[in-house]
Chain A
Amino acid sequence: MANVPLDQGLLLAAILFALGLTGVLVRRNLLFMLMSLEVMLNAAGIAFIVAGARWAAPDGQIMFIFVLTFAAAEVSVGLALILLIHRQNPMLDADAGDRLRG
Chain B
Amino acid sequence: MREFLWLVPLLPLIGSVTLMLGAGRLTMRLAGTIGAVSVGLAAILAFTIAAGFLTNPPAGSVYQQTLWHWLNVGGVSATFGLRLDPLSLVMMLVITGVGFLIHLFATEYMEGEDGYGRFFAHLNLFVAAMLLLVLADNFLALYTGWEGVGLGSYLLIGFWWRDPANGLAARKAFIVTRIGDTALFLGLLLITSHLGTLNIADAMQHATQSWPIGSPIATLAAFLLLGGAVGKSAQLPLQTWLPDAMVGPTPVSALIHAATMVTAGVYLIARTHALFLLAPAALLTVGIIGGATLLLAGFSALAQNDIKRILAYSTMSQIGYMFLALGVGAWDAALFHLMTHAFFKALLFLSAGAITMRLHHEQDIFKMGGLARRLPVAFWSFLIGSAALAALPLVTAGFYSKEAILSGAWAGGTSGRVLWLAGVVGAFMTGLYIFRAVFIVFFGEEHGHVSGRYGWRITTPLAVLSVLAVLGGLIEVPPVFGHVTLLSNLLAPVLPATKEVTDITPLLLASLAALLGIALAALFYWRPTQRPAETPLWRFWHAAGGFDWLYNRVLVRPVLWAARVNSDDFIDSFYDVIAWATKAIHQQVRRTQNGRVRWYTAGLAIGSVSLIAIAVLL
Contacts and interface: CB of A to CB of B under 8 A. Distances in A.
User: Direct A–B touching in the complex (beta carbon < 8 Å)?
Assistant: yes
Nearest to B595: A98
A97 B595 contact: yes
A95 B594 CA distance: 10
Interface residues of B, number: 8
Contacts of A24: 598, 601
A99 B595 CA distance: 6
Contacts of B595: 97-100
Contacts of A33: 597-598
Nearest to A21: B605
A97 B605 contact: no
Interface residues of A, number: 11
Interface string B600-618: 0110010000000000000
A33 B605 CA distance: 15
B601 A98 contact: no
A98 B594 CA distance: 6
B594 A25 contact: no
Interface in A87-102: 94-95, 97-100
A59 to B, nearest CB: 21
A92 to B, nearest CB: 12
Contacts of A99: 595
A99 B594 CA distance: 8
B249 to A, nearest CB: 76
A97 B600 CA distance: 13
A25 B596 contact: no
Contact of A95 (B596, B602, B605): B596
Contacts of A25: 598, 601-602, 605
A95 B595 CA distance: 8
Nearest to A98: B595
A62 B601 CA distance: 27
Interface string B1-12: 000000000000
Interface in B560-618: 594-598, 601-602, 605
Contacts of B596: 94-95, 98
A98 B598 CA distance: 10
Interface in A46-69: none
A100 B596 CA distance: 10
Nearest to B609: A21
Interface in A5-33: 21, 24-25, 28, 33
A97 to B, nearest CB: 7
Nearest to B605: A21
Nearest to B597: A94
B85 to A, nearest CB: 91
B585 to A, nearest CB: 22
Interface string B212-239: 0000000000000000000000000000
A94 B594 CA distance: 12
Contacts of A98: 594-596
Contacts of B602: 25
B32 to A, nearest CB: 82
B604 to A, nearest CB: 10
A33 B600 CA distance: 13
B605 A28 contact: no
Interface string B456-467: 000000000000
B612 to A, nearest CB: 12
Contact of A28 (B594, B598, B601): B598
A12 B597 CA distance: 26
A28 B596 CA distance: 10
Contacts of A95: 596, 598
A46 to B, nearest CB: 18
A78 to B, nearest CB: 12
A72 B52 CA distance: 118
B97 to A, nearest CB: 91
A33 B595 CA distance: 16
A24 B596 CA distance: 12
B240 to A, nearest CB: 72
A89 to B, nearest CB: 13
Nearest to B602: A25
A33 B602 CA distance: 13
Contacts of B598: 24-25, 28, 33, 94-95
B598, B602, B605: most-surrounded residue (chain A CB, <10 A): B598
A100 B601 CA distance: 18
Contacts of B597: 33, 94, 97
B592 to A, nearest CB: 12
A100 B594 CA distance: 10
Nearest to A100: B595
A95 B596 CA distance: 5
B202 to A, nearest CB: 84
B596, B597, B602: most-surrounded residue (chain A CB, <10 A): B597
Nearest to A26: B598
A99 B597 CA distance: 11
Interface string B274-303: 000000000000000000000000000000
Contacts of A97: 595, 597
A99 B601 CA distance: 17
Contacts of A28: 598
A97 B598 CA distance: 11
A58 to B, nearest CB: 27
Contacts of B605: 21, 25
A94 B596 CA distance: 7
B119 to A, nearest CB: 75
5 contacts: A21-B601, A21-B605, A25-B598, A95-B596, A98-B594
Given A25-B598, A33-B598, A95-B596, 7 more contacts: A21-B601, A24-B598, A24-B601, A25-B601, A25-B602, A33-B597, A97-B597
Interface of B: 594-598, 601-602, 605
Interface of A: 21, 24-25, 28, 33, 94-95, 97-100
Task: Kindly list the 4 A-B residue pairs having the minimum CB-CB distance in the complex, ordered from nearest.
Answer: A98-B595, A98-B596, A94-B597, A95-B596
